[in-house]
A and B are shown apart, each in its own frame.
Chain A
């Protein structure tokens, strides 16, 4: 497989590798793909006042999958949460010059973004869970 320079750059210098606290109220997490399919992406966003202030990823997959998720976090940071859903797989594929057999990597990245947004939004819709019982007996 011959890769574009951009894919190689993201593969060799991935942006925003890491994890955010998935239980935090202002963090949205998307995990898509499956090990037996050869790619799994975890993408997380941290939102403050409607703006994505941080984004992190971890990816099991080929170089294109790593590059797609790395690029996605780069594009997400600083973006308004309401605009985050406008990132399209075709934009990612075009930016990275993905060959046809690797288009599914960009599709996976778009799915991960959508799932992370949905996870964040569902946390906002529900009232925050009450802190674990204050009346629990000390032991």
Chain B
């Protein structure tokens, strides 16, 4: 079974550690093993200096100050700290929060936790492209609203929310704005001042850095944002996140951002061209395909596409070695198809048929062509054995059929 070629096209799940990042990390995994909080010896000073350098680099990438960065274990923790921390700190103002149903589970689940503790959550509608309506956001904000949490780039469909506009609306209304920028940090333009962002989550391993490290940007001026911690201990990170700093991870995270910003525009254009090449081939050589997500405002690396009349997991089985993911229920433990596609109004049948491709810095044109060939062949083969494709070709409206579902 391992005689097939391996092609990684799942870059929204994670990315390969850039070897140059590993080189920068290596001393801190070996000889420079000090604790950045040790103020009494060289080992600690060396670690602290490296962390400070990474902190300044990462802050500069956001248009922020080093003291506004809180290091965490990853974006899930950052999202939890932002949402639980802000809601609990400011509950004197009110207990209302605003978000959208297409957010990552690391945003949805802490919000649901708060809901069970007495907070009220407004879930904004999304349209068929996964975009929110800014007027609906404006009218959803109330005097007791504490926080709006809306992601920058969607991990499944790639749709970008207009965070500058959202930030302006929140600032004018005096409401805190948190954005989960896990998919966009180092890729899309982000400036916390220009975009009026108060809290921002990011992760190392989505941008060719190591796993197990993330950050939360916490605004210190205009307004100064305070958070109730969610874990307690040594008072690290100005008391907001106790726990020994992951020095090699932080150093790698900083280096990863430097590499992303070195030629960001060029790299983004190259990846978008590869994505477009894949999309163009799939759309021109297959019938009954639907691209999900916003076609204009989207991640350069993402392609989410439904191949009608075949089920996603069976397609993945037909392209061994090509690493992609599916919105099909069959690839998850939940037995429910993608909640993101469902929120956009994509039917469950097309959600079951959806595949997410993600290109990366290391993807080559040859890999894209190979993947396209393989996917096209697998789709055709599976459609030959699909009763739904047969019916569609016969002109039968599948919505008019009385199905005997379970």
Contacts and interface: CB of A to CB of B under 8 A. Distances in A.
Interface of A: 1, 3, 8, 11, 14, 17, 19, 31-42, 57-63, 65-66, 101, 104, 107-108, 111
Interface of B: 309-311, 313-314, 317-318, 328-331, 333, 335, 337, 347-349, 352, 384-390, 398, 403-406
A1 B347 CA distance: 24
20 contacts: A1-B330, A1-B331, A11-B317, A17-B384, A31-B387, A32-B404, A34-B405, A35-B398, A37-B348, A38-B329, A38-B337, A38-B352, A40-B387, A40-B388, A41-B387, A57-B385, A59-B385, A62-B317, A62-B328, A107-B406
Contacts of B347: 36
Contact of A58 (B313, B314, B386): B386
A41 to B, nearest CB: 7
B313 A62 contact: yes
Question: Which secondary structure characterizes the binding site on chain A?
Answer: mixed
A35 B349 contact: yes
A31 to B, nearest CB: 7
Nearest to A69: B385
A118 to B, nearest CB: 12
Contacts of A8: 317
Q: Nearest 6 pairs between A and B by C-beta?
A: A34-B405, A34-B403, A35-B349, A36-B348, A42-B387, A58-B387
Contacts, number: 87
Given A34-B403, A35-B349, A36-B347, A60 B317 contact: no
B236 to A, nearest CB: 41
Contacts of A66: 314, 385
Interface centre among A34, A36, A38, A58 (most CB of B within 10 A): A38
Nearest to B385: A17
A7 to B, nearest CB: 9
A107 to B, nearest CB: 8
Contacts of A101: 333, 335
A32 B317 CA distance: 23
A108 B311 CA distance: 16
Contacts of B335: 101
A104 B335 CA distance: 11
A65 B387 CA distance: 13
Given A1-B331, A37-B406, A41-B387, 12 more contacts: A17-B385, A33-B405, A36-B349, A36-B403, A38-B311, A39-B311, A40-B403, A42-B387, A59-B386, A65-B311, A104-B406, A108-B406
A32 B406 CA distance: 9
Nearest to A70: B385
A58 B389 CA distance: 10
A11 B311 CA distance: 13
A115 B198 CA distance: 60
Given A3-B317, A17-B385, A36-B349, A61 B311 contact: yes
A70 to B, nearest CB: 9
A58 B382 CA distance: 9
B330 A62 contact: yes
